[in-house]
Amino acid sequence: MKTVILAGGFGTRLSEETVAIPKPMVSIGGKPLIWHIMKIYGFRGFRDFCVALGYKAEVVKNYFIHFSELEADLAVDLKTGKIDKIGSHHEDWKIQLIDTGINTLTGGRLKRIQRYIGNNTFMLTYGDGVTDLDINKVIAMHKKRGKLATVTAVRPTARFGGIHFKDDLVISFAEKQKVHEGWVNGGFMVMEPGVFDYLNGGDGDVLELDLLERLAANNQLAGYKHEGYWQCMDTLRERQILEEQWASGKAPWKLWKD
């Protein structure tokens, strides 16, 4: 089953990092975030990817074109120009890198890669979030419910801590915790090719408005509730959180072995 990763946005809320590179290429632990996302899927057995590019598409292309050299130790003979790889590591991934236009929105990007999906069930996620989710469970629910699409619902961490009062006395103080009232779209979706019929085909189509809302209105959108770890990277603070978790050696999304 092919996995589509939306990796073409401008990442304006992370502009300090995305002036020169697209958000999925922002580094966490010395590896681009998109690598982490692919490792999550690869660990569950899914290694066929289609990456929808836009802003700074060439950065993503160059990374994967030179992936084997970047991942290997090298022996360089400056006299002859010969380069030998030492202990190179190869991921068993197949990747289609598709330029879907610099100003195209998420729904438009998905529509533009329709021909690469064909008449097959596929997975779809954003290029800015990691999780400990078992995607196989989402697929199982998707098949059971028989809807055109299934979205993974998550409870994000609140941006601020909470203070509870009794008169003017603070009776409890809670640091940032998961939001318990309500769920949000965490990506990591499973879709049938019939979803393409819901998109107009214009560059201005928005995935959430022009596809997911329409699917929900037609009773064609299932939701898998994930109570485990999920974290997006929209801000520098969120990038710092991911960096700290990775540096601890206990990053919750790192289920694979080195």
Encode pLDDT of 180-194 as tens digits: 557 889 999 999 999
Q: Where are the domains of the chain?
A: 2-148+187-221+230-247
Contact 194, 148 (CB under 8 A): yes
- The pTM is what? 0.89
Structure tokens at 10: 């401008």
Q: CATH classification of 2-148+187-221+230-247 is 3.40.190.10, yes or no?
A: no
Measure the CA–CA gap between 11 and 127, rounded to whole angstroms: 10
- Cα–Cα distances (Å) from 250 to 29, 138, 199, in that order, read 12, 24, 40
- What's the pLDDT tens digit per position in 17-46? 778 899 999 999 999 999 999 999 999 999
Q: What is the pLDDT of residues 191-244, one digit of tens each?
A: 999 999 999 888 889 999 999 999 999 999 999 999 999 999 989 999 999 999
Phi first, then psi, for residue 246 (nearest 5°) are: -65, -45
With contact defined as beta carbons under 8 Å apart, do 104 and 113 qualify?
A: no
> What gap in Å lies between CA 88 and CA 73, rounded to an integer?
7
